[in-house]
Amino acid sequence: MTDRVDADLALIERYLAGDVDAFNELMRAHEDRVFGICLRMLRDRDMALDAVQETFITVFRKVDRFAGRSAFSTWLYRVAVNTCYDVTRRTRRTQADPLPEGRDPADPSSQDEFLAVEVRPDIQKALDALPQEFKAAVVLADLEGLALQTVGDILGVPVGTVKSRVFRGRRLLAETLGNPTAPFDPQRDEHHA
């Protein structure tokens, strides 16, 4: 087990024994990654912040149900993705007008914020057009850089299904972005497995 996995388990044990500060430490250790997932899934900073808060409230209430069959982070990211699904369903019922182009936040993983803002609206629009299950797989595997097995654990599907969703999501992204013949290297995906 890695140091992070061991540290998470120790913090969970402390929290379950009544140490609320242990939960705060656990939250601080994972909040940036959870926010990144939520922001990419929801595309709206305020909605992502709300989803992060809902995710940690859920975890706060249900961490005693964490069985330890996977890393805590895998379980946590699954809660985050499910929360994003819930937020998306609620938002569809009360759709608001989108912000004008260019108001999207910069991609935090980009080295050059100006380039990230310039490219992001087209990519984000294409991501938003993906069916939810493809979007979740692409966000977790390609944008968050998680291993395909971990993505499968988070989404509750076999690795083969993750590979299929990532492949199909990439294909749809390429078509939407005007590159329907983009080569997809199956070898590239194998290192994520």
pLDDT exceeds 80 at position 192:
no
Domains within the chain, CATH numbers bracketed: 1-96 (1.10.1740.10)
Residue 109 has a pLDDT of 47
Q: Which of 77-81, 120-124, 189-193 has the lowest mean pLDDT?
A: 189-193
Whether pTM > 0.75 for this model: the answer is: no
Span 83-87, average pLDDT? 93
Confidence of residue 69 (pLDDT cuts 50, 70, 90): confident
Per-residue pLDDT of 37-50, as tens digits, reads: 999 999 889 999 99
CA triplet 41, 130, 152: central angle to 5 degrees? 65
Classify 156 in phi/psi space as left (phi over 0), alpha (psi -120 to 50) or beta.
left
pLDDT exceeds 70 at position 188:
no
Q: Answer for the pair 7, 22: CB distance below 8 angstroms, yes or no.
A: no
Residue 8 has a pLDDT of 94
CB contact burial 49-73 (16+ within 10 A = b; e otherwise): eebbebbbebbeeebeebeeeebbb
